[in-house]
Every structure is written in C-alpha cells, then in structure tokens.
Structure 1
C-alpha cells in the first residue's frame, strides 16, 4: 500500500511542482489585482462543482461500490455498473452545462456579489467562466475513469492527469499575446486541459480493457441502487464543504481588491502537501480498506489506515511548521516578481500562516473518512462535515471584520479540526478505527521532530539573514532554500531517532 501511496504521491508531487511554476508565472503575469481576481473566480466555479459532484460525492459513492463488486469476483456486474454510471454522469454534465452557460451572469453574481460594483471586472469574470465551465464535464468523467483504474490498483494515469492542467496553463500564458489579455488565455488553457486529461485516463482504461461503454442506467442494477443510496448523503456532505469555500469567495469579493487572489496564492501552497500527501493517502486507502472489509479482514483494514495516517503525519508536519513560522518569507521568495509586489506577498503570507494551522487536520480527513466510506456509510461523514461547515461559516462572518482575509483562513482551520476530530470520535465509538502503539509513537516522534525543526528555523533565520550576501532578486529564495535543507536534516534525524528509541521501524510506519 505504501508503494501505491508513493506512486500516487510522486505523480501528485510532479503535478504540484508544475502547478507551482504555473502559479509563479500567473502571479508575475496577472499579479493580485482585479484581472487575477476575475480569473480566480472563473477557475474556482467549475472546480467547486467538480468537488461536489466529481471527486467528492461521486467518487466516494462509486469507488466502494465498484471495488466491492469487483473484489467479490463478479467482474461482469462491476463492468455493467461502471458503464451505467459513466452514461449517467455524461447525461447529467451535458444538462448542467446547457443550463449554466446562459445563466452565467447570475451564477457569477451569486459567487462573487462584490464584483457587481465593478462592471468591467464582473463582465470579465462572466466571460472567463463561460470559457472554463466546460472543463467540469470532462473532469467529472476523468473522476469516474480514475475510480475504475484505482479500484484495479492502476494509479499512475489518474495521478498524472492534473499535470496536463498545469502544462496547458503554462502554454496558454506563453501564447497570451494571441488573446485579448492573459486571463482569457488562462481560461482557454483550463478548458483545453479538461479534454487532455480525459484523453489520458481514457487511453489507460482502454489499454486495461476497462473503458466504459454507453449503457442505459437502471435501478434494476443492484450496484446502481447501492450507489444512489450513498450518493445522496455524499452530495450533501461535499456540498457542505464547498459552501464554506463559496463563503470564502463571496466574503473576499467585498474586501479590498486582491483579497480573492491572496486566498488563491496561499491556498496553492497549502494544497501542495495536502494534495501530495493527504489526497494520495486517501486515494489509495479507500479501495484498500473497501477490499479488506469486504473480505472480512477488519484488522488488516485498520492496520492499513494506521499506516496511512502515520505516513501522512510524518510528511505533512514540516510544511505546517514552515507555514506558521516563515510565511511571508515563503511567499516573497516564491512569488514576489512582476505584477506580484511586496504588499501582495505580505497579505498572502498572513493567509498562509492561518492555513498552516489547518494543515495537519486537512491531510488526515481523507484517511479518517475511509473508515465510513469503506463500510458504505456516507451519512456519518455528512453529519460531521455539516457540523464543521456550520462552525466554519459562522467564524468566517465573525472573523472577517477584525482580521480581513486572514479571518477567512482562520475559520477554515477551525472547521477542519472540528471535522477531523468528529470523524475520529465517531469512528472510535463504533470500533471502526483502532490506533496502534506504532501510530501513537509515530505521532510523538513527529511532535518532537517539529519542536527541533521550529527551534532550528527560529535560530537559523537571523543567522542566515546576516550571512547571506545581497543577491539581487534571489536573496530570499536562497535563505528559504538554506532553511529547507537545514530543516529536512534536523526533522528527519530527530524523527528517525525517536522511532528507533521506541523500537519502531520506518517500514512499519
């Protein structure tokens, strides 16, 4: 399982690295002003719907059902179910696209009401969103095909697909001179990337003999019945999370210009460890636990979950320390160039620090919900998610006044912790999770290593600032790189020493 996590995580790392270069170019070209804000809204809208109906609800309902049918040996039933689900998703997305395009001005007004006071920015956001919205159709089909491939332990193509989004956007920025402005180029880059990603996973599914065919959906299919029973609660749960993200965009649109894009740039760094570690672990863990529980190996399922949680904690904790202690240096070193000035870096850095508080909980959520989805219980995660969303949205309203855009990120952190703690308590009461001694020791070792890392960062930063020569434009990047090297050595050595003292081998983590 760890090998599969590393495979998914490796491709996700490539995706996040190319995404980082994409965001660096975007920051330099678009900056953090009204044009950038309009593009961020246009990009976020199809992604909100994708998270609700694609990677969110559809995935958690589809994967356990398909894995259960396939794991029981009934490959024909699994194939028929995948065909019907593919046809259903295609019909739903075509209908949604036909409805959304003419209604786009009202949709954008609902998502970013603050833009209504700026007619040019509002018109640009509407035009860009009409270009990006078809991306939703292709990416939801990508999600289904990825679920089929993942259930058969073919993870590479699905994990590699997001790289094409970043490459497409980089190519679009290079060709921006052919468009009215760079935001239009970026929007077309998003739309084209959806086609490219679909082509990649379709080709891999076809090679494996798993490419779905069009087949009339019917409730006579036991798999479809089971799928719909999970889908409804999963949609509500996924929508709840997206409500909090909608609230971010809505409230940020009323803040001074640049707030929406500040959230965006900070979120891109926050998503790096979350995507590489948390999503990779959850992607592999869900079908693994589903298969083991379907086969009666509950202890094996819990052991797999403990390994995924320990692995996620160990890899994500250093990022949280860095986000909390050197956020402005991070944003300055990575993004401050071109249209992205020092003021934008400072504002985005403050948001990044708040996101750092959320990171440990965020990377664990995907591993914790597997306790429920693997048992085809989609209702309990919904209740936990909605409770967390209520806390999140209420705090956004309260904290935005005194803290501005940073208050939105602080509320996200609080809601994320409420969510993961609720999932753990509920799973523990039902005996659906069983933390082992190895996991407890790993968590303690991670805390000790974080303390050493924090001390090294706080002590090393002033020293590096005095010793580092005044390199034009690259001094902050050199300081950040030096801190990173020191931190990796200090953190890794402390963690390995702590695990060895308690007799835990790294392979068991």
Structure 2
C-alpha cells in the first residue's frame, strides 16, 4: 500500500480537529448562555457525561487503539481485513446494545453513582430523563469510530476527522433555532439532537468507505480467536484510560453536592481542553495505522523515519 504522507495527513486531521474544538467551544458558549449554570445544565452535563465516558472505551479510546493496528496489518497483508472488521463491528454492536439496554433500565443507578449529590432534588429526575435520551449516542459514535479507524488505516483521514464537526454544527443550529422560535426548550432540542448527530456521523464516515474501496457488512457475532486477541489488547488499554475517567467522575461527584457547581466545572474543563491535543491527536491518528502497516511489511527503516518525523512535528 502507498505510504502515508505524514505532514499533509497531520495537517488535514489537525485542521479538522482544530475546527471541531472551536465549534465545540461555540457549542459550550451556547449551552452556558441559553441554558445557564444551574439545575438544568447540571442535569444535562451529568447525563451527557455517561455516553462520553463510555465513548473513551468503545470509540476513540481502548477499542480503537486495539482495532486499528490489527486492521492495518491485515490490510497491508491482504488477510481479509473486511472480514475482521465485520467481526469486530458485530461484536462491538452486540456489547453496545446490551449496554444501552442496561442503561435504559438502570439509569437512576447510573446517575446516583456518577452524581450522588443530585439525589433528593430536581436535578436527579432530570438527569435520569436526559440520560435515557442521550445514552444511545454511544452506539452510533462507537460504530462511527470503528469505521473511521478503517478509513484511517486506508490512508483516508479527511472524512473521519471531519465527522466530529457534524455534532457541534447540529447542536449549535438546533439550540439556536429553539431559542429563536420557542417551539421547544433549548435543553430538549439539545438532548434529542445528540443521538441524531451520532447517526449523522455514522452515515458520514460509512459513505466514505466506498471511496476507500472497502465494504463493511454485518455478520453474526462470534468469539473467534481474532476477537479474543482484540479483547486481550483492548482491556489493558481500557484500564489505563479509565484512570482519567475516574478523575472526572470524582470531580463531578464532589461538585454534585452544590447547585450549579457541575455546570461551572464542565465549563472550566471545556475551556481548559480547547487548546490541548490538536497536534498530538492528529499525529497519533495518522501515525498509528502507518506504523502498523510498515511494521507488518517489514519496513523498519520507514517506521523509524515516520516516528522521527512525528517527533519533529510534535
């Protein structure tokens, strides 16, 4: 397979990532101004943190960290990469369906564990209701992340990098329309748009698979040796990534005991995150599949050169 042009690919991913961060900041300004720190925003933040927390495991986090190198090596070797991806997608979809079903049933418990201070006031019931609406987002965004990993492995970075922009654009538009028309409340428009944005992101990246010359067809989930190996690689990554999520949850648990504190903590964290990771994220996304393919083909010299160029850019 043709080697990835590291600089141009990093600029592509970095540009879209920067745009997504900026639009995400605009989205948060909308949320803070149109809803405002208080019980409703507290409830929304706690509810939306749930799919975002699991997203770190099933989307851009542990699962993709295991899937992308394995898929890239199969793609380089011509070892039925589409079949492997279909198995991974079916297994992931099954786990996500079960997780979503459990979340719908036990959402009060999920909220109590992650925002115990809400219990006994209006924020708790609102967070439970909001959580049941937004949680299915994890299903669509996780499958979109898997498809994005396939595109990245094939050297097609633009569509996958642009997908997060859809979420922020859709949320900003619907919140703005809700505020202008008054047809529904801003928070209702916000929570119902989130799962729809997940669908849009999945459709967006799926369409680009055809241009990459790849197909992805659902198959019956089964625990094959390849899937066992995928799980074995993903679990340690999930445990490592879970440390950050635990820190965020501890902060939310403490803040949930004070009205409006969860909202302000969220706003501060989003502002802090704005300038971080644009270059690092872009390099990681581009470098991981490129290194995997080079190592699979025995191109150790090219691997060292790619790693050196990545170090220079970072």
Give the TM-score of the pair, scaled to structure 2: 0.91
Residues 1:48 and 2:53 are matched in the alignment: yes
Residues 154 and 212 of structure 2 are in contact (CA less than 8 Å); yes or no, is this contact kept in structure 1?
Answer: no
Question: Once the 2 structures are TM-superposed, how far is the Cα of residue 250 of structure 1 from its aligned partner?
Answer: 1.4
Residues 82 and 215 of structure 2 are in contact (CA less than 8 Å); yes or no, is this contact kept in structure 1?
Answer: no
Residues 1:166 and 2:171 are matched in the alignment: no
Pick from 4, 7, 12 the counterpart of residue 9 of structure 2: 4
- In the other structure, the counterpart of 1:352 is none
Query: Cα deviations across residues 472-500 of structure 1 (Å, max 9, x unaligned)?
Result: xxxxxxxxxxxxxxxxxxxxxxxxxxxxx
Work out the CA distance in 2 between the residues paired with 1:249 and 1:211.
41
Query: Cα deviations across residues 139-190 of structure 1 (Å, max 9, x unaligned)?
Result: 00001000100000111111111111111111221233222x3222211121
Residues 8 and 280 of structure 1 are in contact (CA less than 8 Å); yes or no, is this contact kept in structure 2?
Answer: yes
Question: Once the 2 structures are TM-superposed, how far is the Cα of residue 14 of structure 1 from its aligned partner?
Answer: 1.7
Work out the CA distance in 1 between the residues paired with 2:134 and 2:222.
32
Q: How many residues align?
A: 306
Work out the CA distance in 2 between the residues paired with 1:304 and 1:149.
19
Residues 1:36 and 2:38 are matched in the alignment: no
Work out the CA distance in 2 between the residues paired with 1:307 and 1:247.
38
Work out the CA distance in 2 between the residues paired with 1:55 and 1:308.
20
- Kindly report the root-mean-square deviation, in angstroms, between the aligned alpha carbons of the 2 structures: 1.8
Work out the CA distance in 2 between the residues paired with 1:245 and 1:299.
41
Residues 36 and 261 of structure 1 are in contact (CA less than 8 Å); yes or no, is this contact kept in structure 2?
Answer: yes
- In the other structure, the counterpart of 1:200 is 204
What secondary structure sits across from 2:105 in the alignment?
Answer: coil
Query: Cα deviations across residues 363-400 of structure 1 (Å, max 9, x unaligned)?
Result: xxxxxxxxxxxxxxxxxxxxxxxxxxxxxxxxxxxxxx
What secondary structure sits across from 1:236 in the alignment?
Answer: helix
Distance of aligned partners of 1:69 and 1:127 in 2 relative to their CA distance in 1, 3 Å threshold: same
- In the other structure, the counterpart of 1:328 is none
- In the other structure, the counterpart of 2:119 is 116
Deviates more, 1:148-157 or 1:168-177: 168-177
- In the other structure, the counterpart of 2:252 is 249
Give the TM-score of the pair, scaled to structure 1: 0.57
Pick from 66, 69, 88 the counterpart of residue 71 of structure 2: 66
Question: Once the 2 structures are TM-superposed, how far is the Cα of residue 308 of structure 1 from its aligned partner?
Answer: 2.5
Task: Answer with 1 or 2: which has the greater Rg.
Answer: 1
Q: Which ranges of 4 or more aligned residues in structure 1 deviate by more than 6 Å?
A: none
Pick from 234, 239, 250 the counterpart of residue 237 of structure 2: 234
Query: Cα deviations across residues 433-458 of structure 1 (Å, max 9, x unaligned)?
Result: xxxxxxxxxxxxxxxxxxxxxxxxxx
Pick from 137, 140, 146 the counterpart of residue 139 of structure 2: 137
Residues 156 and 212 of structure 2 are in contact (CA less than 8 Å); yes or no, is this contact kept in structure 1?
Answer: no
Q: Of the two structures, which has the highest relative contact order with CA contacts closer than 8 Å and spacing of 6 or more?
A: 2
Work out the CA distance in 1 between the residues paired with 2:223 and 2:136.
29
Distance of aligned partners of 1:166 and 1:306 in 2 relative to their CA distance in 1, 3 Å threshold: same
Work out the CA distance in 2 between the residues paired with 1:306 and 1:41.
41
Residues 118 and 256 of structure 2 are in contact (CA less than 8 Å); yes or no, is this contact kept in structure 1?
Answer: yes
* Structure 1: stretches of 5+ with no match in the other structure: 313-509
Residues 39 and 122 of structure 2 are in contact (CA less than 8 Å); yes or no, is this contact kept in structure 1?
Answer: no
